[in-house]
Each structure stands twice: as C-alpha cells, then as structure tokens.
Amino acid sequence: MVHLLLLSHLLMTWIVTRGRSDIADSCEFADRGESFVTEQEAVRLLCYLGVDADDSGGVAFTWYSHKNLELPFSEAERIHHHEGILYFLPVLLTDSGTYTCVWNTTDECSYFERKVTVYEAKPFNSSVLYTPVTTSAVNQKILCPDLYPNATVTWFKDFQVLPNATEDHVYIFDTNPGDNGIYTCKCIWEHNGKVFNFSRSFQLEVEVPSALHAPVIQYPANNTVIAEPGSPQKIECIVFFGFDVEDTCSVWWEKNGTSVRFSNGYSQNVTRYTENNQTLYKATLSIARVSQQDFHSEFKCTAMNSIKWFEGFVFIQPQPTIYRSFAISLPVLLVLLLMYVAVKYYMIDFVLIYRDLLKPYCAHRDGKVYDAYVVYPRHNLQKSSEEKIYSFVNVVMPKILETKCGYKLFIYGRDDLPGQDLIEIMETSIKLSRRLIFILFPGSASEETSEEVFDRKFGLYTALVQEEMKAIMIELEKFVSYEHLPVTLQHVIQKRRPLKWKGEMSPNSGFWKHVRYRMPGHTSS
C-alpha cells in the first residue's frame, strides 16, 4: 500500500512538472511582473493580455501556483481566478512565489509570470510602497489606484486618519515640506458575502519651490593662473544661479572677446549640478598647449540667465623662476601680513571712527525711515526663552543701538499700532528699513505663526532676491545645528556667520562693534 501511494505521488509530480515544461516548450513567453503585498489583505493579479480584440475564437485562461499546481476558478476557494484575474482572499505569508497565467486562443498560446512577495502586516514594510510622489505643485492630488468595485475608502497620513477623506483620491492644498509622509488609502470590499481589506501606500516628497537668482560667479573672480609654456591647462568657472532652478541658464568661455568654440586648440565643457538645493553650472576651459600669446590674452567666463549676466576674468602668467618668485613674493607677503593684521584687529574700529567723524556732516537721503527691521520669534516658546528674547529685543537692543548709537529700529509689538493690518504694516516697515536683523534662538523655527513666517519670508525675499538690503544674524544661544532652519535662512547663514551675543552691555564690546559695523553708516547705504 505504501509503495502504491509513493508511486502515485511521483506520477502526479511528473504530470505537473511535465505540464509546466510543455508550457515553456509550446507557449510563447509574454512578460513578467512583480507585486509586493501585505499579509491578510485582498490581492488580485491581472493576466497580461496580448490577444487580438478581433479574435473570434475566444480566450481560455489557466493559472498555476508557485508550487506548479493548477489553480481553481471556484469562489469557494481562498485562491481562485475569474478568467484573467487571480484572487487571494486573503493573501498569506506562505503565498510568496511566482505565479503563471497561460492563455490560449485558436491560433496562439502565451504565458505571463508574476512574482508575489508577501510581507508581515506589522511593522510597515516600505517595499509595498507604490512609485513615490515627488512634487513642487501648489496643490497635489494622490489617487488610490486599482480600486475594487463598491469599495469603501479611508485615507491615512503616516498611519493617522485624515478627517473627511473618503474619496478615491485626496487633495493636499498649499503643499510644503510639512506635508511629506506616507499616504495610505485603506479599503473595505465585500465579495461573495465576505468582507476583505486592502491598501495602497505612497511616499509624498514636496520639493522646495524654484528660486531663480541673478548669476553669481563663485570662481574665477578676476584671478591669475600660473602655467608653463607648452603645457596643457584647464580653468574652471563655477556659477550659482539659485535654488532648484528649472529656467534656462548659460555659461561660456571667451578669449579676447571670441568664443573658444571657434578657436583651434581650445575647448569647453559645461555641466549642471545641484548641491544643497543650489543650482550650479561648471564650465571647464581646456587649452591643449599654452602659448606665448595666451600670456597676453584675456580669458573671460560669462554667465547669463533671464535676470542678469555677469563676467569673470582670468589672466595666464608664465611660471616664474625660484629666485624671482622669492624676490617678488617676500615683500608682497610682508605687506599682506601687515594688511591682514590691520584688517583683522583694527578694521572695524577704523570704520566706526570714520563713521563717527562723518556723522555731523552726512545724512541718509534714500527715503528710508528705519535703520533696521527686527525679526524675532514671538510665539510657541518656553517661558524662560520668551523672557530672554523679549529682554534682548525690547530692552538691550534699544538701549545700545537707539539710545547710545543713534540708530532707529522697527520692533514688531512695540512700533505697530493697535488695529493696523499686521501683514501690511510688516511689508511696509521692511521696505522702509535699511537692514534686516534676524534674532535666532534654538528650536524657535519649529512652530511659527503666519505673521512670523511672513516677515521672515518677505524679508529674506527682499534681501536675497531683490538685493535691496543686507541681513544681520544674531544668535542668543548656541546652535548645535542649523538644519531645522528654513533653507533660505541657512543660505544667508552660509554667506555670513551669525554674531553670538554673550551678555555684553557695552556698545564698545566686540559683539556690539560687529553689529554696528554691519549696520548702515551715516551716508546712504
């Protein structure tokens, strides 16, 4: 009896294996796909249809499991098919594997393979995510795909229910990086008297809006390049055009006013790349062999976009001998060292003394009212932090800058009048100011109010894009990292290091000298 059972099992295995082998031999391979699903959910696989619609012979479907067994079409079975659709009601971890759909017509036979990978329901596995949704649009729509008929939909963000989101799609209005996260549509579907669940998840990534900037040539800046006659030479021109720029920008090299593209022995290669959301272009000038004529020529890098264009110049000089280099360099180094010492230790004092001497004779004629507009965090602060910021802004700064130094500040909460439109008074006051003072405090940028966001963004727009004023950054407490600050604010910090206040109360202290140095002088700035 045991031998008969063993013989029967071997015979059935041979028949199934032979059947699958016949498929590969007699049917044409069409395509393959892959699905990543979560256990205990309803799943359906669609058979790839490559059949001519005019074929009157009809189509016959056969599905095989990952164990090479033919699957039933009875709805009483957990795994069954309706013609070209295979259902798992529900899918289990043990269902992982490759499934095959075979379809036959009167004149052809083809098959399609679908690999299914089943993951545990908890914790959430990112492999089941659909294609990420990357957007910079003002309003973004996310659609729940492949809905079953009459399914009930509920939307989640980061696995928290989104109120009143029960359609086959969800809208995100006024998108910003705070909307980033995993959006999931969970659906309830009734089939043959039984209730099943299934879900679709998407990763939303909101890009920072594009900000076109006037070109800034970071290198070269009227530099001199040393080269040996007859040697090859490469010179790079690096240009900053703004943040996440999609506009067309151009960078090219010229020799004595003529593009190097039309000169023998010269070539250029232009590449575009992004670094910390900055859009940069690099144009590399290649000289096959440096000639004597090159030592008397002007090489110019030109950068252009829809706002402005700028130029940077490079002059090539021959490699000097060691003795000549020493004789020329030593006096220059001594002068540079003395200038460095004077600049490092006395330049700010010289500038402040010069301003004080001119103060009785000069006055601003630029139509501005305030020397500086003060932007500072005002809400969602701990009591100790709020007291420190309030004391510095409303007591210390007026006492030093206004009373002792003669500047005029606009401080929100002190200089605005009750009943005025807040946004209007902020915009007007910023336009009437010569400087923008940002008071930085760790953790204060996480929960800003709409007014705080407006005066920060409008002020940065005025300072960075329109270039109408300079920004002064002041830290009241030490920052471990600036990563939590807005990108535009980080850009300003990269260009000019913030001043760190350590409780100094004298206008002649190092901190207040640096603040006064960055404030406007007594002539129009």
Q: Which of 205-219, 235-249, 276-290, 430-444 is predicted least confidently?
A: 205-219
Tell whether the model's pLDDT for residue 87 goes beyond 90.
yes
The residues, ordered by sequence, that sit 6+ positions from 145 with a Cβ below 8 Å of its Cβ are 130, 200
Q: Averaged over 335-359, what is the pLDDT? A: 79
* 503, 374: one domain: yes
In this structure, the answer to whether residues 400 and 506 fall within a common structural domain is yes
d(CA 391, CA 381): 14
Distances from the Cα of 5 to the Cα of 10, 67, 68, 69, 442, angstroms: 9, 20, 20, 19, 76
If asked whether residues 18 and 143 sit together in one domain, one would say no
d(CA 289, CA 267): 12
Residue 161 one-letter amino acid: V
CATH classification of the domain holding 37: 2.60.40.10
How confident is the model at residue 116, as a pLDDT? Answer: 94
CA distance 254 to 93: 65
Would 344 be classed as within a structural domain? no
227 in the same domain as 159: no
Note the pLDDT of residue 51.
Answer: 44
198 plus 259 within the same structural domain: no
Lowest average pLDDT, out of 52-61, 153-162, 206-215, 514-523, goes to 52-61
In a shared domain, residues 371 and 468 = yes
Q: Are 221 and 105 in a shared domain?
A: no
Q: What is the pLDDT confidence band of residue 42, given thresholds at 50, 70 and 90?
A: very high
- Give the model's pLDDT for residue 359: 67
More confident residue, 409 or 441: 409
Q: Which of 318, 349, 383 is the last residue of a domain?
A: 318
Cα–Cα distances in angstroms (integers) from residue 50 to residues 55, 86, 367, 461, 471, in the given order: 11, 17, 74, 56, 64
Q: What percent of the chain has pLDDT over 70?
A: 83
Query: Other CB atoms closer than 10 Å to residue 368's CB: what's the count?
Result: 17
352 domain-assigned? no
Does pLDDT of 293 surpass 80?
Answer: yes
Q: Is residue 17 part of a domain?
A: yes
pLDDT of res. 17: 44
- d(C-alpha 410, C-alpha 418), whole Å: 15
- List the structure tokens of 343: 């600049």
Residues paired with residue 123 on neighbouring β-strands, in sequence order: none
Tally of domains in the chain: 4
Q: Where are the beta strands (DSSP E) in 288-429?
A: 299-304, 309-318, 372-375, 409-411
DSSP state for residue 10 in the 8-state scheme:
H
- What average pLDDT does the chain have? 81
Residue 437 has pLDDT above 80, yes or no: yes
Domain boundary pick from 145, 178, 206: 206
Question: 382 lies in a domain?
Answer: yes
DSSP string covering 152-203: EEEEEETTEEPTT--SSEEEE-S--GGG-EEEEEEEEEEETTEEEEEEEEEE
Find residue 238's DSSP bridge partners: 219, 282
Mean pLDDT of 110-129: 91
Residues of the domain holding 171: 129-206
- pLDDT at 525 exceeding the cut of 60: no
Q: Given this model, what pLDDT does residue 523 score? A: 45
- pLDDT value at residue 37: 93
Pairing of strands 435-440, 372-375: parallel
Phi, psi (rounded to 5 degrees) for 317 = -120, 150
Separation between Cα atoms, residue 140 and residue 181, nearest integer Å: 13
